Amino acid sequence: MSEFHYRRGVLHAEELRLDKLADAVGTPAYVYSHRALAARYRAFAAAFAGLDATVCYSVKANSNQAIIATFARLGAGADVVSQGELLRALAAGVPPRKIVFAGVGKTAEELAAGLKAGILQFNVESENELRLLAQVAGRMKRRAPVALRINPDVDALTHEKIATGKHENKFGIEIPRARELAKLAASLPSLDLAGLAVHIGSQITTVEPFAAAFARMAELARELLASGHRIRRFDMGGGLGVVYDSETPPDLASYAAAVRAAVDGLPVHVVLEPGRYLVAEAGILLSRVIYMKEGAEKRFAIIDAAMTDLIRPALYEAHQPVIPVAQPRAGANLATIDVVGPVCESGDFMARDRTLKEPTAGDLLAVMSAGAYGAVQAGTYNTRPLVPEVLVNGAEWALVRPRMEVADLIALDRVAPWLQ
């Protein structure tokens, strides 16, 4: 059963009434279920039982400290793509030896920070990055653990803005070039070529692209091992999809089988980097209807949440389920409406042409499956402060990020001396 469910006519997060929570913290607000996070992580880890593997939560999916700490307490590592995410992971208690530093544009400062922390590995994406890492490690008298991120030229069959495994994408190293860079890495004394990595995209809803990418990486690994390279880690990335609408992503058993098949017979430690899969369905965006608007061709429910709070619909044309917090009675009047925000952009919407119980001003709505790429991508356009985040555990709740005030935003700016 989902940890977001109706009980006695009111949507609950675990044992907590969401209407009461809205009264306490205001709207809009993100709400996460601790139970859902823990259950999802345990199920994912269990699918790889018996395999020499480390699960590194992909911090970019949701970087709230409480979320990272939840997974760290359960034994997870972290996949980070910036120095900021590295510092977040360390602050949340992730052991440095369970941190993988990915990303296509790491700076010398970021590489030095990873070396200083003593992380598990750097996923390197180009020759220039490899040479820069060697220089930084040499100056620091360290030996940098490296995995070459492979671009396997596999179509992930996902949205173009979250596909990363085709040759036209900016990510990774083509396989012929990877052979050359493996030789280069082996020749540089400040580098330790420890493994290979691959990540072909996000919200992948069929197992075939995973299997194809993993097989190509395994073939390359066998070739490099035969050439004398000590390939001992396989970073399989993440990208496993979830259900937002009518998707049918592969189950964990099928996904795990693709991983196991690829590494069969290889002397490697496996690194897995789930993000969206762990957090998407564990969070919602709670919002209130400001008023209804009758347009010439459409009806609009204008809510207090906006694209500044959840940009997925505007950025990716993504479907987000929207449901009322007060459970509709049987036979309630239904309406086809657009659920939109107050930001001054036509792209500011949460849902289009949805059939919902007829809303009225003051009604609470829940935007479901909003735990991934929600608050973490939020902005302050139209001088809209960042919204609070709440973590629920049973009937308890904690404010894990307070609501920002407009005064806080204004205080970030400075008026030039000649304007004062």
Residues serving a catalytic function are 344
Structure tokens at 62: 């949701």
Report the 3 state secondary structure along 83-139: HHHHHHHHHCCCCHHHEEECCCCCCHHHHHHHHHHCCCEEEECCHHHHHHHHHHHHH
Pairing assessment for the beta strands 10-13 and 191-198 based on DSSP bridges: unpaired
Contacts (Cβ under 8 Å, ≥6 apart) of 4: 11, 12, 13, 33, 36, 284, 366, 368
Two tokens, residue 387: 């919204």
Please name the residues in contact with 1: beta carbons below 8 A apart, sequence gap of 6 or more.
Answer: none
